[in-house]
Structure 1
């Protein structure tokens, strides 16, 4: 069901044979290697080389496919089935970031400690962005396909659970029972303070335990995730108004949370950098401390126009972008083969393909974009696929042979460059 759509996209596209081959292989990779239809009306989407479905990754894996025409409706059926599964997972446990195909008790680590056990939970690293991606995908699905069957009782129940968590985690110190400990000696895999995380003050923003990289937050208010929350709360306002007009109290709460989070971003999340001026911090604690960096995992500070928080010409974003793509950001690396954003999740000097794609998706500089396309051609290690991170001096040394989300974001960048990106 994808071959014809890919052919249409590549027809008369001004791309090298290598990029066309990579685009085709990356698009087909997700549909043919990570998707499993379930016996009900849902579907399961593996992240790639890990036998679990991430709420975040599955949203990112499928967003690109909403840019394709689907006369048969079969592709849209599959996307809708995955979205149903996402919201059912939220109802099972909104603090779980990655789920099993069935309630079989499989897990990333049997030593994990949290306040709740769930046999569906592969890993219980609470990540604010994980609750945002399913809403984004459902909203884009509605807008691109015109289908409204998703907006049923399960969807509404999951939204109520999502908003309940947002409300609780605005007051993490006083109201949250969540903790997470993985006593494996790896600092970024566990939260300090008996699994509760470093103490935070109230800001109006929503606390997150972990980043999109699945690494622990240094400070609990992760700015890119809160910015993403503002965006999806706006989507929920529109959805509630259109499909659940009787839910006036819920709509009011959604609006209140959106305003409070945005006010917190403005009050606590903007810092004065001596070189770049006003920029967004990556994390803050609401007690005067901030973490000035950027990580390649989406949502990142670099990705703010991609998640539709702001326009690319926004002044504070542009200042932040210049910082993010500089050596002043300790997770930006330059080597003989490539330069770009990396992550504390991978070794030093590893550039992420996802970061290169987001740089291209948020760039208005054609020379920059052409150079980024060249980097994709020359850093795939001959696989015609993207990876997680690769050594900036030697792209044949890389992490994750099979990383579907990264493949999808690369394809979005290609669509942008040939004028066929709809979202």
Structure 2
């Protein structure tokens, strides 16, 4: 598709600001518009379908993350506004079809990743995959809110948006008591164990904490323990957005109070059950817990992650507990932190050992206050593209030519967001000498 005017202008600015860095410029020109050029379809019904790249489905998470870097450009650009508004409207429609699903088809064609077992007799023909992940419901609300803040437009906030928000709150309330109240079950009969929920599709037992349960991580891997801390943090942030939208746009005090009350319960659960007192790092956030005193101490490359907490808006970059957590997850004490001859960073059980993700590297730079660290990450990103000019999912820390997912639009556009941010902050020469 033809690039919106504001995106073309941003690429033009890069021609000047990155002129002394030819490979970085080439990568930015390829990566920043990648979502719009290769994975965005404008539909006849006024919506937009944004698929993930080498998979034909639209993930609620990925599609939101793919357009977030364009939000600062949306004011005064009706072409870009048409895309973002259309995407959110389609995402809202998807949530109303099935709020437990994470990925959807372009048409009601019954295409599906796998014929999984769920509590439904028949999965909607619109659903590609039905792995329940908290963040799938967070992202569309976040994009709607941020679009409003960047543009002043309330066009997204129609009756369907309000219905979807109410359904999200009900679902998160239900999943505060997963074993007692939830209808959700998920079993996959093929593939690795991390693709399915144990215990007859219900997941492992959890105690009540005030947090809301998640079956899967943003990597689409099953949670070890049902309370995924960074996803609950994201839910808390989004509930704050809902409360503000309810008051300022809809004038609905009841909705505002419901969102604020659930936010407080989740926050209390995070503070009470989500903080682990580590003998080396001090108070830090666990990745997962079950509320019974068991913790999963790790971080995954996908977002929401512990590394991304400030990017999500849950806390500041200098928050002491976050800094303790950051020291842990960027060390070999994190089982998915890998170092090699060409790179170091956070990977995932979703990809092979010794593979780290470009998404986590970009997130490391976006959440850093250290110019030296940012410069090192940017250098690593430029040197680990596998001579393609694009970002990938995971790559071998000893040989970046070995990578997963040659066409992964989220990673490409997020890289563009980092470089664009550094351009706006006038820091290119500081971190790319």
TM-score by length of 2: 0.95
Aligned match of 2:242: 236
Q: Distance in 2 between matches of 1:64 and 1:384?
A: 19
Secondary structure of the corresponding residue to residue 170 of structure 1: helix
Aligned match of 1:188: 194
The alpha-carbon deviation at position 70 of structure 1 amounts to 5.5
Aligned match of 1:113: 117
Q: Distance in 2 between matches of 1:215 and 1:394?
A: 25
Secondary structure of the corresponding residue to residue 128 of structure 2: strand
Given candidates 60, 64, 72, the residue that maps to 1:59 is 64
2:108 counterpart of 1:103: yes
Correspondences of 1:85-100 after superposition (within 5 Å): 85-100=90-105
Aligned match of 1:46: 51
Aligned match of 1:213: 219
Secondary structure of the corresponding residue to residue 373 of structure 1: helix
The alpha-carbon deviation at position 299 of structure 1 amounts to 0.5
Q: Distance in 1 between matches of 2:318 and 2:15?
A: 30
Correspondences of 1:11-410 after superposition (within 5 Å): 11-13=16-18, 16-68=21-73, 71-110=76-115, 112-116=116-120, 117-245=123-251, 247-410=252-415
Structure 1 moving runs of 4+ over 6 Å: none
Q: Would the aligned equivalents of 2:17 and 2:423 in 1 still touch at CA under 8 Å?
A: no
- Greater mean deviation of Cα atoms: 176-185 or 15-24: 15-24
Q: Distance in 2 between matches of 1:326 and 1:162?
A: 36
TM-score by length of 1: 0.97
The alpha-carbon deviation at position 77 of structure 1 amounts to 1.3
Secondary structure of the corresponding residue to residue 397 of structure 1: strand
| 1:69–1:257 distance in 2 versus 1, CA, 3 Å | closer
Q: Distance in 2 between matches of 1:249 and 1:286?
A: 30
Q: Distance in 2 between matches of 1:419 and 1:39?
A: 35
The alpha-carbon deviation at position 177 of structure 1 amounts to 0.6
Gap regions ≥5 residues in structure 1: none
The alpha-carbon deviation at position 159 of structure 1 amounts to 0.6
Q: Distance in 1 between matches of 2:68 and 2:169?
A: 23
Q: Distance in 2 between matches of 1:250 and 1:142?
A: 18
Q: Would the aligned equivalents of 1:9 and 1:420 in 2 still touch at CA under 8 Å?
A: no
- Greater mean deviation of Cα atoms: 218-227 or 70-79: 70-79
The alpha-carbon deviation at position 184 of structure 1 amounts to 1.1
Q: Distance in 2 between matches of 1:167 and 1:189?
A: 25
Cα displacement string for residues 374-416 of structure 1 (whole angstroms, at most 9, x for unaligned residues): 1111100111110000000000000001111111211121123
Q: Would the aligned equivalents of 1:67 and 1:420 in 2 still touch at CA under 8 Å?
A: no
The alpha-carbon deviation at position 51 of structure 1 amounts to 0.7
| 1:420–1:70 distance in 2 versus 1, CA, 3 Å | farther
The alpha-carbon deviation at position 4 of structure 1 amounts to 2.5
Q: Distance in 2 between matches of 1:35 and 1:168?
A: 34
Q: Would the aligned equivalents of 1:212 and 1:299 in 2 still touch at CA under 8 Å?
A: yes
The two structures, once aligned, show a CA RMSD in angstroms of 1.3
Q: Would the aligned equivalents of 2:209 and 2:291 in 1 still touch at CA under 8 Å?
A: yes
The alpha-carbon deviation at position 285 of structure 1 amounts to 0.4
Q: Would the aligned equivalents of 2:32 and 2:415 in 1 still touch at CA under 8 Å?
A: no
Corresponding pairs, count: 419
The alpha-carbon deviation at position 69 of structure 1 amounts to 5.7
Q: Distance in 1 between matches of 2:162 and 2:211?
A: 23
| 1:14–1:239 distance in 2 versus 1, CA, 3 Å | farther
| 1:405–1:262 distance in 2 versus 1, CA, 3 Å | same
Q: Distance in 2 between matches of 1:68 and 1:185?
A: 41
Secondary structure of the corresponding residue to residue 238 of structure 2: helix
The alpha-carbon deviation at position 8 of structure 1 amounts to 2.7
The alpha-carbon deviation at position 90 of structure 1 amounts to 0.5
Q: Would the aligned equivalents of 1:5 and 1:70 in 2 still touch at CA under 8 Å?
A: no
Secondary structure of the corresponding residue to residue 233 of structure 2: helix
Secondary structure of the corresponding residue to residue 131 of structure 1: helix
Q: Distance in 2 between matches of 1:6 and 1:70?
A: 17
Q: Distance in 1 between matches of 2:109 and 2:321?
A: 47
The alpha-carbon deviation at position 288 of structure 1 amounts to 1.2
